[in-house]
Structure 1
């Protein structure tokens, strides 16, 4: 499993060298966009609207837009210095809380933690302590150039980091439009709804849930591929140097013919006739 990050997690005087691994993967079927006419993949270019030309990566700088068309430019060196200052700090668990106290809306992405060299004993200690206390650790850490609030918990004998949103990243629920407040509910309808919930109540088994759309899409792709319903991108016409040279020579010859002065008429015969007379 690919290691995304190496660092140290500490609680109290205990330091745990760890590695971070992605716990989930996006299995969405990625579709390309083709030009309908020639079946070639569409390219997206970075173009400057003022210079009216494509811009290379080394010409691009990062900036924060603090007002319309007003920017604060940040250099790569300044960004790297900030990241280095934060990365050098150990990830410290600052609080231990109950998992039930964190609403799922705060959870963002999951990562597995494995012990790095010499960290197995401390890793096992934290894992067992979290199990016995039924608590999770709340910590701060840098992931992909961003300081993250994170929850460290146990999942099937492995420590897991759950990145969680900061409170100001969760939108105010009061801004959701048209949410009914006090609407009287018919008791009979409510009882029926509760009965339906009871009938559909079961233990959560993630294996029973499948992505039917993704499965159907992959089946359709396989069917069209097996029936040779495929498209091949048109190769871009690369200029042939030989052809270009021949065209250049022919063009030069034509030009030379046009520019060449017309030949003078010969008068030798008339001169000879006068001399002999």
Structure 2
């Protein structure tokens, strides 16, 4: 399993060297866009709409738009320095709370925590302390240049870290439009609704829930793969350098053609001027 972060986490004076591994994976089926006529995959280029010119990586800088079409440019050295100043690989658990005190809207992404070399004993200590107390740890960590709030809890006899949103990243519920005010519900309707809830109540078993659309799409792809619906991409010709190159080629070709026309015109004029001279002679 790929390691996405390596460092240590501590609570009190206990320091635990750890590795993080992504706990979930995206199972979405990625579909490519291809040209209907020749079946070549579509290429996406970075074009400056102001210059109408294709850009390379060296032509692009990072900037923050603080007002409409007004930017503060931030160079890579400044960002890297800021990152290093804040990228402390030692993460301290700053609080212990109950899991039920955190609304699920705050949860973002899950990571398995594994002890690094020499950290097994301290890892087991933290795991047991969380199990016995029924609490989870709250910590801060920087992953991929972004500071994250996180919780550490026990999951299937291992430590799991889940990044959670900061409060200002969660939108205010009162800003959602068209939410109905409190309304009086008829007792008969409520009783029927509660009966339906009771009939559908069960123990949560994640294995019973499947992505029916993804399964059906995979079946369709497999079925069509061996039929008449498969195509092969046409070998793409080497791309021309740029519009500027195309323009230069056109200009040079035009110059050559103009030179040839002028040469033919001079020869024609020379013949005309020579003709009468010979007659007069």
Distance 1:85 1:9 in 2: 18
Asked if structure 1 preserves the Cα contact closer than 8 Å seen for 2:48 and 2:55, the reply is yes
Distance 1:175 1:145, change over 3 A: same
Q: Tell me the residue number matched to 1:11.
A: 11
Match of 1:217, SS?
helix
- Per-residue deviation, 1:51: 2.1
Match of 1:100, SS?
helix
Q: Tell me the residue number matched to 2:2.
A: 2
Q: Tell me the residue number matched to 1:173.
A: 173
Q: Tell me the residue number matched to 2:225.
A: 225
Distance 1:58 1:5 in 2: 29
Q: Tell me the residue number matched to 1:192.
A: 192
Superposition TM-score, scaled by structure 2 size: 0.84
Distance 1:81 1:123 in 2: 32
Could you list the runs of 4 or more consecutive aligned residues of structure 1 that deviate by over 4 angstroms after TM superposition? 258-262
Q: Tell me the residue number matched to 2:142.
A: 142
Q: Tell me the residue number matched to 1:205.
A: 205
Which aligned pairs between 1:10-49 and structure 2 lie closer than 5 A?
Answer: 10-49=10-49
Which aligned pairs between 1:61-72 and structure 2 lie closer than 5 A?
Answer: 61-72=61-72
- Per-residue deviation, 1:38: 1.7
Asked if structure 1 preserves the Cα contact closer than 8 Å seen for 2:106 and 2:170, the reply is yes
Distance 2:209 2:51 in 1: 52
In structure 1, list runs of 5 or more residues that go unmatched: 240-247, 265-277
Asked if structure 1 preserves the Cα contact closer than 8 Å seen for 2:88 and 2:142, the reply is no
- Per-residue deviation, 1:237: 3.5
Match of 2:161, SS?
strand
Q: Tell me the residue number matched to 1:123.
A: 123
Match of 2:222, SS?
helix
Q: Tell me the residue number matched to 2:243.
A: none
Distance 1:53 1:238, change over 3 A: closer
Distance 2:195 2:83 in 1: 54
Match of 1:9, SS?
strand
- Per-residue deviation, 1:81: 1.1
Match of 2:81, SS?
helix
Match of 1:153, SS?
strand
Distance 1:49 1:228 in 2: 41
Distance 2:209 2:89 in 1: 41
Match of 1:171, SS?
coil
Q: Tell me the residue number matched to 1:73.
A: 73
1:38-60 residue CA offsets vs partner (Å, 9 max, x unmatched): 21111111111222211111221
Match of 2:154, SS?
strand
Q: Tell me the residue number matched to 1:237.
A: 237
Distance 1:164 1:88 in 2: 19
Q: Tell me the residue number matched to 1:94.
A: 94
In structure 2, list runs of 5 or more residues that go unmatched: 240-252, 272-281
Distance 1:261 1:49 in 2: 48
